[in-house]
Amino acid sequence: MNLRLKIVDLLESREVAPMTVTEWAEYLGMTEDQMYVELEQTLNKLEEDVILVRSKKDRYLLAEDAGVKKGVLSINPKGFGFVSVDEGEDVYIPIDGIETAMHGDEVVVRIFQRQNGTTDGEIIRIIKRNTSQILGTIRFIKKKLTFVAQDVRLGFVKFVYPPKMKLVEGHVVLAKILKHERPLLVEGVEVLGHINDPGVDILAVLMEYDIYPKFPKEALDMANSVSKDVVMEDGRKDLTHQLTITIDGEDAKDLDDAISIEKIGEKYRLGVHIADVSYYVKENSPLDHEAFNRGTSVYVVDRVVPMLPHVLSNGICSLNPNEKRYALSCIMDIELNGEVSDYQLTPSVIESDYRMTYTNVNKMIHGDEQAKNQYPQLIEMVEHMADCANRIRRRRESLGAIDFEMEEAKILVDEQGHISQILKRERFEAEKLIEDFMVCANETVAKHTRWSHVPSLYRIHEVPSKKKMQAYAKIVGLLGYKMKGSMDDVKPIALQKILRHFEGHDEFPVVSRMMLRSMMKAKYDPAPIGHFGLGLEDYTHFTSPIRRYPDLVVHRMLRKYVFQTPELANMATEEERLKGIAEQSSMKERNAVDAEREIEDMKKAEYMEDHIGMIADGVISGVTKFGFFVELSNTIEGLVHIQSLEDDYYEFDAQSMRLRGKNTRKEFRLGQKVRIKVKAANKEQRTVDFIYLPARKERK
């Protein structure tokens, strides 16, 4: 056992009490100079990694025992924040406990238990600052040009004007942070354009989240130098003569998965063929470093910020029709019960025959004659795919897979970047069957790497906490559903039953969203802990290496330890390195989701600025002491402020999560259908305000 593990093991087993470095040296017999230095360095590293902390008397104790944890800080526009820790609830941080930390920073937090049972914390150390630049708009305030930070959480910012930067009102400026004290001291770096220029609003949000569309020259040069030749190599399976298709949205450019299928007796042989990106993006190359820094492709409204340059993501790595491509293939035998009875993982060369869209495959599944006549060679294949997907789906449902069916917005924009329409994104059979096939391949690869005991990354989703499940049980209880069993060990199938109960009802979107918020966040980890939401013991991300860095890493691990003779001596070092990759990938994923969500909220508010006075029906999606939120059928959500309810004095009942009129006893509760009128919208603040319209009978 190495020294690091020995110290932690001694403290966890309670064999020793917290000790100073001198006491540790005497206890472990490490008083000689060289050994003492090694001990001191080990203790410092354990403290740096927030596994140990030092008391005021310089004694080292377990961070967990001291109520100290590390996590990522999220700051609310009102000033307070939450730290998302690896285990348990998010920790509330009051305004005076944030110090100089910024939104998105990795921090160390000390947690306090209050007498009333609540917990909050204070930030005691900043591990990593994840914001080095901010964006602002030049405004004319009090007869002078002023830099106003785009992030309202930053408040007043001191701005240093570079001598050569000529600014006018409305310019959007990128600024680097010189000092992280309050107020922030920043210096202008680049003018991105004018606030009224098409697309500048989206670009500004992306860059605020450190998401940059431009690639560095070294990465671009390497991508452009990649050979476009595809030849049959030793060890690759030739699948070019097998009927193979891709199925994606009409506007997709990076096609990283293709499907083949054949029926053999009662079983299906399903091939999931994934672009072999690891063949082109070599470890520790400029391309690899840039892909690691980005972590994921980001999809927003009218553009994609790819993880890899377009020459790769849309070119040689994309499984375009009638072009030979290198792939990693997962070929599975699917039985009647949806189980995988046999499989093969192999490098391959494929040639996609058709670039199919979800729209056309959905038409074929539902018997559209025009679509069938257009693709007669695929009629049997589509029938086989639909039947095979049903087998896989039934198995997943029996294991308790939770299908959240989250309602997503589809935002359509014109050439000037203005929104023409916002629709609810539909998800039909073709979308579901591709998801079924990808999940099946991901599970199969995860089983293989776990059983083979080779280093890899896994997509994990931990069991939700008892506290969050109790809160969720209360919410669905208010809507008429009683959760049975203990909240200590909730099974995914119990949550699946809740969604089925509310399916087709007005309350379903609320129930589904609240359930998702009650879950732990899915993340990446070198340990195969399992995926609660999917009801699977083994799960990884293998199927999207063009747009997700963890998938690329999984491909590399297969190449190193499965397809080639493994270098066993490097495995321990590899597993330690994978921890850092998992943390970075999880952080970058959260960052991308936050940016996508903020841009969507901004564009929804912009759309509603042109629809003031519009009347619509919606469902109450949240109730607070200051009013209630209403979600419309196109997924836009707005607030009905309590002060706008003039027919009575309304009080918030936290127990039943509803507003109740003091005199009329009229109520507003979760899932209730209401009619609203759009009162106001503000693109900069990302807010939409509604006015409640009583039904005619109520008015009378």
- The Cα 282–Cα 287 span in angstroms is 8
Q: Which residues contact 194 (CB under 8 A, 6 or more apart)?
A: 168, 170, 171, 172, 200
| 350: helix, strand or coil | strand
- The Cα 273–Cα 53 span in angstroms is 48
- The Cα 193–Cα 185 span in angstroms is 22
pLDDT digits (tens, 9 = 90+) for 394-444: 999 999 898 877 778 888 888 777 888 898 888 899 999 999 999 999 999
Asked whether the beta carbons of 673 and 618 are under 8 A apart, the reply is yes
Q: Give the pLDDT score at 388.
A: 98
DSSP 256: -
Residue 261: in which H helix or E strand, if any?
Answer: strand 257-264
Type of residue numbered 529: I
Asked whether the beta carbons of 388 and 334 are under 8 A apart, the reply is yes
- Cα–Cα–Cα angle for 319, 320, 323, nearest 5°? 95
- The Cα 695–Cα 677 span in angstroms is 12
Task: State both tokens at 363.
Answer: 């038409």
DSSP H helical ranges for 285-368: 286-294, 310, 358-365
Q: Give the pLDDT score at 413.
A: 83
| Sign, Cα dihedral of 352, 355, 358, 363 | negative
DSSP H helical ranges for 295-357: 310
Give CATH for domain 68-128: 2.40.50.140
Query: What is the side-by-side order of every strand in the sheet holding 133-141?
Result: 144-149, 133-141, 171-179, 184-194, 157-160
| 404: helix, strand or coil | coil
Residue range(s) in the chain whose domain bears CATH number 2.40.50.140: 68-128, 611-699
Task: State both tokens at 350.
Answer: 């494929």
Closest CA to 63 of 86, 41, 38: 86
Asked whether the beta carbons of 337 and 317 are under 8 A apart, the reply is no
- The Cα 315–Cα 324 span in angstroms is 12
- Max alpha carbon distance in the chain (Å)? 91
What's the burial of 150, exposed, middle or buried (CB within 10 Å: 0-12/13-18/19+)?
Answer: middle
Q: Give the pLDDT score at 152.
A: 78
Q: Give the pLDDT score at 696.
A: 63
Q: Going by DSSP bridges, is the β-strand pair 52-54/458-460 parallel, antiparallel, or unpaired?
A: unpaired
Q: Give the pLDDT score at 551.
A: 98
Task: State both tokens at 478.
Answer: 């208010």
Rg (C-alpha) for the chain, rounded Å, is: 28
Assign domain 133-197 to its CATH architecture: Beta Barrel (2.40)
- The Cα 436–Cα 442 span in angstroms is 10
**Residue ranges of the chain whose pLDDT lies below 70:** 1, 86-89, 114-118, 568-569, 696-700
Q: Give the pLDDT score at 700.
A: 42
- Residue 378 has φ and ψ, to the nearest 5°, of -105, 0
In order of 392, 409, 502, 513, the CA distances from 507 in angstroms are 28, 18, 7, 10
Residue showing tokens 């949806």:
338
Residue 4: in which H helix or E strand, if any?
Answer: helix 3-12
Type of residue numbered 128: K
Alpha carbon 118 to its chain centroid, in Å, reads: 28
Task: State both tokens at 395.
Answer: 């198995």
- The Cα 71–Cα 128 span in angstroms is 10
Closest CA to 278 of 538, 524, 587, 550: 550
Q: Give the pLDDT score at 569.
A: 60
- The Cα 277–Cα 572 span in angstroms is 25
- The Cα 275–Cα 348 span in angstroms is 10
- Cα–Cα–Cα angle for 550, 551, 555, nearest 5°? 115
Q: Going by DSSP bridges, is the β-strand pair 687-693/637-641 parallel, antiparallel, or unpaired?
A: parallel
DSSP tally for the chain: helices H, then strands E? 17, 33
For the entire predicted model, the pTM comes to 0.86
Give per-residue burial for 588-617: e unless 16+ CB within 10 Å, then b.
bbbbbeebbebbbbbbbbbbbeeeeeeebe
Residue 498 CB neighbour total at 10 angstroms: 20
Fold of 3-62: Arc Repressor Mutant, subunit A (1.10.10)
- The Cα 201–Cα 315 span in angstroms is 29
Q: Going by DSSP bridges, is the β-strand pair 184-194/237-238 parallel, antiparallel, or unpaired?
A: unpaired
Residue 12 CB neighbour total at 10 angstroms: 11
Query: What is the side-by-side order of every strand in the sheet holding 658-661?
Result: 650-653, 658-661, 667-669
- The Cα 270–Cα 391 span in angstroms is 12
- The Cα 677–Cα 608 span in angstroms is 11
Asked whether the beta carbons of 684 and 677 are under 8 A apart, the reply is no
- The Cα 43–Cα 54 span in angstroms is 10
CATH class of segment(s) 611-699: mainly beta
